[in-house]
Amino acid sequence: MAPALIETPQLPVRSASKVVASGGLADYKEAFSSGPKVFNSEAETKGTAKQPPAKYPNYLPVWDLEKNRPRYEPLQPFTHKEHGKDADPTFPNLLQNAKVSELTSNIGAEVEGVQLSKLSDKGKDELALFVAQKKVVAFRNQDFADLPIQDALNYGGYFGRHHIHPTSGAPKGFPEVHLVHRGAEDTTARDFFETRTNSVAWHSDVTYEEQPPGTTFLYLLDGPVAGGDTLFVNQAEAYRRLSPEFQRRLHGLKAVHSGHEQADNSRGRGGAVRREPVANIHPIVRTHPVTGEKALFVNAQFTRKIIGYKKEESDYLLNFLFDHIAKGQDFQARVKWAPGTVVVWDNRVTAHSALLDWDDGQRRHLARITPQAERPEETPFESK
């Protein structure tokens, strides 16, 4: 039986923004400083002495900057349909011919023998459930990157309303595709490590939105021979590792997640701010709508302040949770990219970090399709 939902009152957005302004943790860290100022269109389309042209020029980023005001209106609430609820838990349509290898004992799988683009709707329902259970799944040898971009979007749109990222570059005409792009001859790594010791920046994507993403797709277009792996952490296991007394203390607490620092960072680099930044308040422990698992829902990149706590109290508790998540190598997985790889994760029960660990200028180019899901909900603490 589904546990009874408790009401999670949401303060108006303006209040959340005010909390951010009044001083919370503000350790926004973004290692991949792409943007229109560092993007070299000619080097990407024609190649250089050191680099061939981009393999997928149709996916090269544009920013469509507008001078005076953001291009898009604030996002409005919508009713999310969670397809994982309709899935056959024996996965006959998804895994019939699949070879599944576990990445670790508690997070991650690698799958061969499935072509995601060919899945029926029943197969897609099963995909949503499978990913919710495994947290992150790397599907190898996919044709996703070769599909017309609109077809890839139509596919991803099955899982929820497309999120349009407020700051990232996107392929021309397809603002719903979030691009991760580090160009040939990019000096990001050299610049970044002048002021930071590492590039690890744990986060779940765009948690400052009222309805953050659920089943999320990221696929490789072009990448370095080695490096640029992605780290994932199981936020449900991170919750389970805590003592019952500590879990009980976290229940009922809510925190502000802010997109303001990301927008400021983008503006500072001459980049886009397509929508006015927002901040939203979410429960610190959220429950997955299909598996019923409880998971920590805080991340160092966007979670700023615990509602009702003084700054020192809030920083103390959030820093403990961020450390707990970052140090939990025994509930983390590291995903290696290869041509044709599509990685699908459930953004509600995971956090991840890119790694900026290669500095020889090789291009890294990925596309993300980011369906939004339900507003995070908390269910009451249950002792074992």
Could you tell me which stretch among 82-90, 198-206, 260-268, 376-384 binds Fe ion (CB under 5 A)? Answer: 198-206
In the numeric block, which tokens belong to residue 102? Answer: 């576990």
Which residue lies nearer to Fe ion by CB, 107 or 250? 107
Per CB under 5 A, the list member of 110, 205, 315, 346 interacting with Fe ion is 205
Which residue lies nearer to Fe ion by CB, 29 or 240? 29
Please answer whether residues 30 and 261 qualify as being in contact, where contact means their C-beta atoms are separated by less than 8 angstroms: no
Rounded to the nearest whole angstrom, what is the least distance from the CB of residue 203 to Fe ion in the complex? 6
Could you tell me which stretch among 42-50, 199-207, 258-266, 338-346 binds Fe ion (CB under 5 A)? Answer: 199-207
Give the type of residue at 58: N
Q: Cα dihedral sign for 248, 251, 254, 255?
A: positive
Rounded to the nearest whole angstrom, what is the least distance from the CB of residue 275 to Fe ion in the complex? 18
Rounded to the nearest whole angstrom, what is the least distance from the CB of residue 163 to Fe ion in the complex? 12
Rounded to the nearest whole angstrom, what is the least distance from the CB of residue 109 to Fe ion in the complex? 20
CA 338 remoteness from chain centre: 19
Report how many residues bind Fe ion under the rule CB under 5 A.
Answer: 1
Could you tell me which stretch among 21-29, 87-95, 104-112, 200-208 binds Fe ion (CB under 5 A)? Answer: 200-208
Which residue lies nearer to Fe ion by CB, 205 or 237? 205
Rounded to the nearest whole angstrom, what is the least distance from the CB of residue 164 to Fe ion in the complex? 15
C-alpha angle 317-290-91 in degrees, rounded to nearest 5: 130
Which residue lies nearer to Fe ion by CB, 142 or 207? 207
Residue 36 and residue 22: Cα distance in Å, rounded?
Answer: 31
In the complex, which residue's CB is closest to Fe ion?
205
Beta strands in the chain (DSSP E): 61-62, 99-102, 109-112, 136-139, 170-171, 177-182, 215-222, 230-234, 254-258, 279-283, 285-287, 294-296, 303-306, 332-335, 342-346, 350-354, 364-369
Residue 314 and residue 217: Cα distance in Å, rounded?
Answer: 33
Please answer whether residues 126 and 94 qualify as being in contact, where contact means their C-beta atoms are separated by less than 8 angstroms: yes
* Binding flag, residue 125, Fe ion (CB under 5 A): no
Please answer whether residues 374 and 214 qualify as being in contact, where contact means their C-beta atoms are separated by less than 8 angstroms: yes
Rounded to the nearest whole angstrom, what is the least distance from the CB of residue 308 to Fe ion in the complex? 29
Which residue lies nearer to Fe ion by CB, 93 or 234? 234
Give the type of residue at 306: I
Rounded to the nearest whole angstrom, what is the least distance from the CB of residue 114 to Fe ion in the complex? 24
Which residue lies nearer to Fe ion by CB, 123 or 166? 166
Please answer whether residues 34 and 165 qualify as being in contact, where contact means their C-beta atoms are separated by less than 8 angstroms: no
Residue 283 and residue 250: Cα distance in Å, rounded?
Answer: 9
Could you tell me which stretch among 121-129, 203-211, 268-276, 303-311 binds Fe ion (CB under 5 A)? Answer: 203-211
Which residue lies nearer to Fe ion by CB, 93 or 168? 168
Count of helices and strands (H, E) across the chain: 9, 17
Please answer whether residues 237 and 337 qualify as being in contact, where contact means their C-beta atoms are separated by less than 8 angstroms: no
Q: Which residues pair with 138 in a beta bridge?
A: 110, 343
Q: Scan residues 67-86 and list those touching Fe ion (CB under 5 A).
A: none
Could you tell me which stretch among 71-79, 147-155, 205-213, 301-309 binds Fe ion (CB under 5 A)? Answer: 205-213
Burial class (CB in 10 A: 0-12, 13-18, 19+), 308: exposed
Rounded to the nearest whole angstrom, what is the least distance from the CB of residue 352 to Fe ion in the complex? 6
Which residue lies nearer to Fe ion by CB, 178 or 275? 178
In the numeric block, which tokens belong to residue 355? Answer: 């790694």
Which residue lies nearer to Fe ion by CB, 168 or 287? 168
Please answer whether residues 64 and 70 qualify as being in contact, where contact means their C-beta atoms are separated by less than 8 angstroms: no
Rounded to the nearest whole angstrom, what is the least distance from the CB of residue 64 to Fe ion in the complex? 21
Please answer whether residues 359 and 190 qualify as being in contact, where contact means their C-beta atoms are separated by less than 8 angstroms: yes
Rounded to the nearest whole angstrom, what is the least distance from the CB of residue 216 to Fe ion in the complex? 9
Please answer whether residues 51 and 363 qualify as being in contact, where contact means their C-beta atoms are separated by less than 8 angstroms: yes
Which residue lies nearer to Fe ion by CB, 205 or 346? 205
Residue numbers at the binding site for Fe ion (CB under 5 A): 205
